[in-house]
Amino acid sequence: MTNNLKDMLNNIPVPDEIDDYIEIGLSKADEEHRRRKSYKPLLAIAASLVILLAFTGIVGFDRVEAAIRRALQYVPGYNVVVDTEEGRVLALKDQVMHEEGDYYLVIKAASKLGKNLSLTVESNYEEDDIYLKDGDGNISYAAAYSRSGGGEFWEGDFYFEVENDDMKNYFLLFKDIELPFTLEKTAEVEDFLQLGNHASDKGVNLVAIKKQLEDKLMISLLHQTEDKYIEDYPFEMSLMFAEDLIEEKSMYILTKDGKRIYPSLPSSFGNLMSDFYFDIEDQEGLKLVLPYLKVRYYDLKSHKIKIKTPKDGEREAINEVLSLGDFSIEIVDVRRSDREVVVAMIWNSPEDEILDYVRVRGIDGYGIGPNEETGHIELFLDLTELGRNFTLYFESPSSVMLGDWVIDLD
Amino acid sequence: MRCIKIKINRKEFEELFNKYKTDIYRLAYTYVNNQADALDIVQETAYQSYLSKNKLKDKSKFKSWILKIAANKSKDLLRKNKPILVGDISILENIEAEDKASLAIFLDNLKTLSLDEKNIIVLKIYFNYTFEMIADELGITVSTGKSRYYRALEKLKLEEESI
């Protein structure tokens, strides 16, 4: 027998049952496909709750999105734009939907600036590529897209480079569906704050636009900031470790008689605008209160710390502080029980901010959670992943920025 | 980026998957060192890959895409479960006596590798990565990658190959 690694690995016997296992895997996937297709479109709002937490599939997206976002402060559904110096902006005239049994495909928003056209599409069809056909029959591929999957639904932003600046009539091509949609010229405002009632604090301007739906009040939020990346608006489900440290975990509507109405669901997501639904009818004297905003600091990174893997049953004190901008993470100690290695940390935040989450780097897999007895946040590592020593560092913290944004909704 | 539209039906997918099924199984076995878990990983890989087959934009990347899924599934399983250290003597049943002994030793030695060492072996052998590509993928230096690889060969009691 050979003494070569590749040959030795190729000699690992493959059992005959492998085909049965493959068949089971594929059948399970078929079943899941069928299950996903059996949901009603009315559940779409609930699905976006999951979408918020499961952002995946970004392909060449950041660059294009940033360019379009810079050029447009476009408000889907209202068709107004801020700052039209970049050129003429067209936007979706009406949302269009294709339904076929239990499946649906809806164009939620569209905007076009020059030869750049962006589409926001939601569907419960199995994911597939999306193409654009113009009124002259020219077909475009998505130059970039971002698609998020949540439960039985997905929502995606697709960016196309089109031939004709003035064209208003298009078709979305998806599987064998041709869904026509029309763009119209948008209304224009000179200033972001003209879009609706607003409030400012901590260098962040927030605008709220309200819309009465059948049984809910929809509040659409937009923000404008020079130097911060707003990750989330206040909603309990978007909190991680700061959840227990802040009293008011969500935005709310304050009625004239002091009653607080919390949002039942967020709908859309992303930075251009987010919609929130409240179980209340529009009335006089309503105020929207946002006690914090979630901010992410993409550029922050700590230095690295090398930790010696302890022996079973041992605990080693470390007491080293890693700085992350104005935040700091104190590595208190490391202990080991059998194959589990636990690093205890204390997270420190500047005044008016609470560190909510931080990305742990240097190791492949980990668990993270609070220790209620010690108050530490603990990192759980599997011995299999570690050598005699291992390296840790932290980056891209997300924090809760406490503030006072109260927007009059009258 | 330009998306190339490809559609794979169940039959085509099965054909593609079957073409690489032995690689998938052996990759999984390299990580988990037992037949039962390796078969579970094959099943999970079939499930996950078929479910997300539309994310594959280029059929020529099928092999690396599917092996990546299998490698991730293997590592997930290692994180969740403690490694099983009992050998699978049954898998050697149909091997000739002479080869059986050396393969049994090899499989035993395979269990002694750390996850870091297994990662490098998998990238080197199944993905055909160079040490530069391995270093880039794992965020380590080329010399660290090489020393881990040679340490693994030593543990496996195999000769250094011309690489």
CB atoms B42 and A25 under 8 Å? yes
A142 DSSP β-pair partners:
A160
pLDDT at residue B160 in the model: 57
Would you give the DSSP letter of residue B146? Answer: H
Of A11, A29, A144, the CB nearest to B103: A11
What element of type H or E holds A150? strand A139-150
Of B42, B115, B156, the CB nearest to A22: B42
Which is nearest to A271 in space by CA: A48, A72, A44? Answer: A72
Is the same domain home to A169 and A198? no
Instruction: Give the residue numbers spanning the domain of A174.
Output: 45-189
What element of type H or E holds B147? helix B142-155
For residue A34, name the pLDDT band (cuts at 50, 70, 90). low
Set out the domains of chain B in order of their start, with CATH numbers.
7-87 (1.10.1740.10), 95-163 (1.10.10.10)
Confirm whether A11 is domain-assigned: no
ipTM above 0.90, yes or no: no
Is the same domain home to A266 and A206? yes
**The A187-189 sheet, strands edge to edge:** A73-75, A80-82, A187-189
Q: What is the pLDDT of residues A315-351, one digit of tens each?
A: 999 999 999 999 999 999 999 988 889 999 999 999 8
Confirm whether A105 is domain-assigned: yes
* Chain B residues inside the 8 Å CB shell of A22: 14, 17-18, 21, 42-43, 46
Is residue A379 within 8 Å of residue A393, measured between CB atoms? no
* Chain B residues inside the 8 Å CB shell of A54: none
Q: What is the pLDDT of residues A80-127, one digit of tens each?
A: 555 545 566 677 877 788 988 778 898 887 888 778 888 888 888 888
Can you give the CATH number for the domain in which A281 is found?
A: 2.60.40
Residue ranges in B52-110 assigned as alpha helix (H):
62-80, 97-110
Is the same domain home to A198 and A180? no
* Chain A residues inside the 8 Å CB shell of B21: 14, 18-19, 22
Please state, in angstroms and rounded to a whole number, the distance separating the CA atoms of residues B83 and B33.
Answer: 8
Which is nearest to A33 in space by CA: B59, B62, B9, B24? Answer: B9
Is residue A204 within 8 Å of residue A230, measured between CB atoms? yes
Is the same domain home to A184 and A49? yes
CB atoms A9 and B30 under 8 Å? yes
pLDDT at residue B3 in the model: 28
Confirm whether A57 is domain-assigned: yes
CB atoms A14 and B26 under 8 Å? yes
| Buried b or exposed e, range A212-242, using 16+ CB within 10 angstroms | eeeebbbbbbbbbeeeeebbbbbbeebbebb
CB hemisphere CA count around B74 (13 angstroms): 26
Is the same domain home to A262 and A228? yes
Please state, in angstroms and rounded to a whole number, the distance separating the CA atoms of residues A120 and A157.
Answer: 4
Of A13, A22, A126, the CB nearest to B94: A13
Q: What's the gap in Å between the CA of A408 and the closest CA on chain B?
A: 44
Question: If you search the block for the tokens 């669901």, which residue do you land on?
Answer: A265
Percent of chain A with pLDDT over 70: 79
Looking at residues A280-294, what average pLDDT do you find? Answer: 94
Q: What's the gap in Å between the CA of B87 and the closest CA on chain A?
A: 13
Residue A78 has pLDDT above 70, yes or no: no
Q: Residue B152's closest chain A neighbor by CA?
A: A5
* Chain A residues inside the 8 Å CB shell of B50: 25-26, 29-30
* Chain B residues inside the 8 Å CB shell of A21: 39-40, 42-43, 46
Which is nearest to A87 in space by CA: A195, A188, A193? Answer: A188
CB atoms A384 and B25 under 8 Å? no
3-state DSSP call for residue A349?
Answer: coil
* Chain B residues inside the 8 Å CB shell of A384: 78-79, 83, 114-115
pTM of the entire structure?
A: 0.50
CB atoms A22 and B46 under 8 Å? yes
For residue A382, name the pLDDT band (cuts at 50, 70, 90). confident
pLDDT at residue A58 in the model: 35
Token pair in block for residue A56: 């995946």
Residue ending a domain, among A138, A159, A189, is: A189
Q: What is the pLDDT of residues A39-52, one digit of tens each?
A: 333 233 333 222 22
The three-point CA angle A311-A317-A320 to 5° equals 125
* Chain A residues inside the 8 Å CB shell of B40: 21
Confirm whether A146 is domain-assigned: yes
For residue A59, name the pLDDT band (cuts at 50, 70, 90). very low
Of A6, A10, A21, the CB nearest to B43: A21
Region of A313 (left: φ > 0; alpha: ψ -120 to 50; beta: rest) is: left
Which is nearest to B137 in space by CA: B148, A60, A288? Answer: B148
Is the same domain home to A152 and A100? yes
* Chain B residues inside the 8 Å CB shell of A339: 82
Q: What's the gap in Å between the CA of B61 and the closest CA on chain A?
A: 16
3-state DSSP call for residue A298?
Answer: coil
* Chain A residues inside the 8 Å CB shell of B44: 25
CB atoms A24 and B43 under 8 Å? yes
Mean pLDDT of chain A: 79
Confirm whether A37 is domain-assigned: no
Is the same domain home to A184 and A198? no
Is the same domain home to A209 and A167? no
Of A8, A126, A384, the CB nearest to B54: A126
Is residue A105 within 8 Å of residue A213, measured between CB atoms? no
Is residue A267 within 8 Å of residue A200, measured between CB atoms? no
Q: What's the gap in Å between the CA of A6 and the closest CA on chain B?
A: 6
- Positions in chain B short of pLDDT 70: 1-8, 54-55, 57, 80-98, 159-163
Is the same domain home to A86 and A179? yes
**DSSP character string of A298-353:** TT-BPPPEEEEPPPTT-EEEEEEEEEETTEEEEEEEEEEETTEEEEEEEEE--TTE
Is residue A242 within 8 Å of residue A356, measured between CB atoms? yes
Is the same domain home to A209 and A178? no
Residue A79 has pLDDT above 60, yes or no: no
Q: Sign of dihedral through CA atoms B110, B111, B114, B120?
A: positive
Backbone angles phi, psi at A203, to 5 degrees: 75, 15
Region of A82 (left: φ > 0; alpha: ψ -120 to 50; beta: rest) is: beta
Confirm whether A17 is domain-assigned: no
Q: Residue A35's closest chain B neighbor by CA?
A: B51
Cα of first residue to Cα of last residue in chain A, in angstroms, is: 83
B97, with CB counted inside 10 A (0-12, 13-18, 19+), is exposed
CB atoms B1 and A9 under 8 Å? no
pLDDT at residue A350 in the model: 93
Domain count, chain A: 3
Question: How far is C-alpha A245 from the geometric centre of its chain's CA atoms?
Answer: 23
Of A15, A131, A143, the CB nearest to B1: A143
* Chain A residues inside the 8 Å CB shell of B17: 22, 26
Which is nearest to A168 in space by CA: A99, A105, A94, A64? Answer: A94
Confirm whether A254 is domain-assigned: yes
Is the same domain home to A293 and A352? no
Confirm whether A396 is domain-assigned: yes
CB atoms A5 and B158 under 8 Å? yes
- A141 residue type, one letter: Y
pLDDT at residue A93 in the model: 78
Token pair in block for residue A314: 């041992």
